[in-house]
Chain A
């Protein structure tokens, strides 16, 4: 099976190319949706897990929870990539600047979406065997990358006990309202 970090890298590359093709403003809509989804998951996820019993999860329950998280992230990505509704208003920047900005936002979206999928698989110890990933087969590179996956990195409390996801969500809401 292909290592998880290679699959993750390929996904990020594909999202980056998509960002280049779609342009900055459309990609920013996807970024906003991804950040809001992660913020909601970081708030409601622990509550739902506690309601389902908390503590040590059985294998089947971990599998269902992991599948739930993955479906929500994929669903959010599909909604945000489909149509124009979430795109920010205005005429996107043109020329080289526009291409670089679109590509960079595509890279950010790739990191947010692919990284979140990887994070939730890792958090439940890769319970969905059909995907072909196992905790035992992780390379040192994969182990090193895991602390930098979006929910782990952006979910840390930084100011007033709140995570960066909250501040980013507020910032993107303000930007969306202004535009």
Chain B
């Protein structure tokens, strides 16, 4: 690190607050209808990354080799040069860092698609839908911070003094997870009851 480099201490709370603020504002603008789709996609993405990352590593490596083989000329070269070249290249996903990138991609795909799908739904039409959207956006932001934070800010790779170890411990704290789960369920219930029409007695 250069001697005159500024070291900006950023605690784990700043990371979480930033995620909550950014996604809360996005949720406020998009409304609860659209945020609900993203929230479901985030849950799906968490399940996919948790269950399938390890199983997908060899598949991704094979696809990478197939692509490199095709780019090197494939079978059209008529000799084994392309095959030899492909045989010597290392696996695309072989280190913890590259596996983390794969996890990020697997997480980002359903979430990005959900943002596009959400555009097909009606946006917020009143302040109630905006506030519920903001809350649901905040919960989404927390889960995204949980997945992206330790990967984007690993210790020793940034001038920001970011205690990712304690970030992890905070984000994995069962009490914090419990509160987040309950907040998400309460938002679902509030939105559901808000959307359900009352039966008018005659």
Contacts and interface: CB of A to CB of B under 8 A. Distances in A.
Contacts of A24: 192, 195-196
A164 B192 contact: no
For the complex, would chain B's binding face be called helix, strand, loop or mixed by DSSP majority? helix
Contact of B189 (A28, A90, A156, A164): A28
Interface string B158-180: 00000000000000001101110
Given A148-B174, A164-B179, A98 B185 contact: no
B197 A153 contact: no
B40 interface: yes
Interface in B2-44: 33, 36-37, 40
B199 interface: yes
A97 B178 CA distance: 25
Interface centre among B178, B189, B192, B198 (most CB of A within 10 A): B192
Contacts of B185: 31, 108, 168
B178 A89 contact: no
Interface string A68-105: 00000000000000000000111111001110110011
For the complex, would chain A's binding face be called helix, strand, loop or mixed by DSSP majority? helix
Contacts of B189: 28, 31, 105, 171-172, 175
A172 B197 CA distance: 18
5 tightest Cβ-Cβ pairs between the two chains A and B: A93-B195, A90-B196, A91-B197, A24-B192, A153-B178
23 contacts: A28-B189, A31-B185, A89-B198, A90-B199, A91-B198, A93-B195, A97-B36, A100-B40, A101-B36, A101-B195, A105-B188, A105-B192, A108-B188, A148-B177, A153-B174, A153-B177, A153-B181, A156-B175, A156-B178, A164-B179, A164-B182, A175-B193, A179-B196
Given A147-B174, A154-B178, A172-B189, 8 more contacts: A88-B193, A90-B197, A90-B198, A92-B196, A93-B192, A100-B36, A153-B177, A158-B179
